[in-house]
Structure 1
Amino acid sequence: MDKKKKRSITRGAILVVLLAAIVYTVYSSATNDKVKVLQVGDKAPDFELVDLYESGLNHRLSDYEGKGVFLNFWGTWCEPCKKEMPAMSRQYATYKDQGVEVLTVNIAQTEFEVKKFLESLDVHFPAVIDDTKVVMTAYNINPLPTTILINPEGRVEKIITGEMSEAQIASYMESIKPEQE
């Protein structure tokens, strides 16, 4: 085969790959817009995921109705996630007896990776893994970390993207704490 023919075949293959990438990007953008974007005031989508530490324990969002839920989405590779987790753990220790639940949702990493990461930080709060990214999609999560504050009525109170300071975490937990009777 001569050089000209090889070059033509190579260029054709590159063109096909580029065209496929463009079609995929356009399709992705078009279908991504069809996912309803979660907004403040919306009813938080219910879900059920298995606890990372307690075998057989499922966390269903609807089971927390009447409590404030601090729903945090994260990944082990995410530096801001790593920085805010110890503060979340300390604030959870303060607020869990006041009707605020923390539920951290890892995005599709292995159980081994997630456990090793959490144990290295010595944090103590419920953790689940969203293996199929169904919950991430329902909440339209991007980027990580993202925290959804859910009030005791099950409605989205606030959506926070990016790293939070300990003072912010305490303030957010205070804001979703149920009224004491």
Structure 2
Amino acid sequence: MDKRKRLWMRVAILGVLLGALVFAVYSSFAKDNKEIKIGMQAPNFSLEQLNANGKELKLSDLKGKGVVLNFWGSWCEPCKAEFPELEKQFQRYKADGIEIVGVNISETPLAIQQFVDQYRVSFPILMDRQSEITRIYQIGPIPTTFFINKDGVVQDQFIGQMSESTIIQKINKIKP
């Protein structure tokens, strides 16, 4: 009887392992993989702007302009280092039809405001309080920046801290 119990135990364990393997394979094929790729239309969204009395900004409102869409957090050291360069390029290129938009990930308006004041940011800051847009754009490490042309098509993406020359080079790809 002891051998019989062991046999059934082994069969049960193999059954569980086989079921887990089938589930893993199925999940990988059934997963909705909508990765944002260069050449794709940037997903439209609407988020509340900081310091705009609840007014929202839609990405589609910026059609006709080149858009630098930067996902960031106030606790992120590379974001802190990058923000002065983004502000500098915003001042330099805004008359050329370039819009820089910062998307803050899941922080309070107070924390965002303190960061914006510290770095003297004048470009629009959007608040992704529930990380909905962060999930749509599949943001992992931050900062992550998308460069979107005047037609709303993603022309480039950069993960990590950008230098001044990198920002300028990528902005030149999306100038209207």
One fold, TM greater than 0.5? Answer: yes
**Residue aligning to 1:163:** 161
Deviation per residue, 1:74-130 (Å, 9 max, x gap): 001110000010010011001111000011000010000010011111122100110
Instruction: Provide the secondary structure at the position in 2 that maps to 1:39.
Output: coil
Which residue identity lines up with residue 84 of structure 2 in the other structure? Answer: P
**2:140 aligns with one of 137, 142, 149:** 142
Distance in 2 (alpha carbons) for counterparts of 1:101 and 1:58: 16
Deviation at 1:34, TM superposition (A): 2.6
Which residue identity lines up with residue 162 of structure 2 in the other structure? Answer: M
**Residue aligning to 2:101:** 103
**Residue aligning to 1:45:** 43
Instruction: Provide the secondary structure at the position in 2 that maps to 1:124.
Output: coil
Deviation at 1:30, TM superposition (A): 5.7
Checking the alignment, whether the CA contact within 8 Å between 1:35 and 1:140 is kept in structure 2 is no
Matches within 5 A, 1:64-143: 64-143=62-141
Deviation at 1:64, TM superposition (A): 0.8
Distance in 2 (alpha carbons) for counterparts of 1:97 and 1:50: 24
Unaligned runs of 5+ in 1: 1-25
Tell me the number of residue pairs that the alignment of Structure 1 and Structure 2 aligns.
Answer: 151
Distance in 2 (alpha carbons) for counterparts of 1:121 and 1:35: 36
Distance in 1 (alpha carbons) for counterparts of 2:135 and 2:54: 24
Distance in 1 (alpha carbons) for counterparts of 2:62 and 2:104: 19
Checking the alignment, whether the CA contact within 8 Å between 1:66 and 1:152 is kept in structure 2 is yes
Report % sequence identity.
41
Instruction: Provide the secondary structure at the position in 2 that maps to 1:147.
Output: strand
**Residue aligning to 2:14:** none
| Runs of 4+ with deviation above 6 angstroms | none
Instruction: Provide the secondary structure at the position in 1 that maps to 2:169.
Output: helix
RMSD over aligned Cα, in angstroms?
1.8
Larger-Rg structure: 2
Deviation per residue, 1:133-162 (Å, 9 max, x gap): 111111111110000000111011011000
Instruction: Provide the secondary structure at the position in 2 that maps to 1:137.
Output: helix
Deviation per residue, 1:35-60 (Å, 9 max, x gap): 41110011100000111012143210
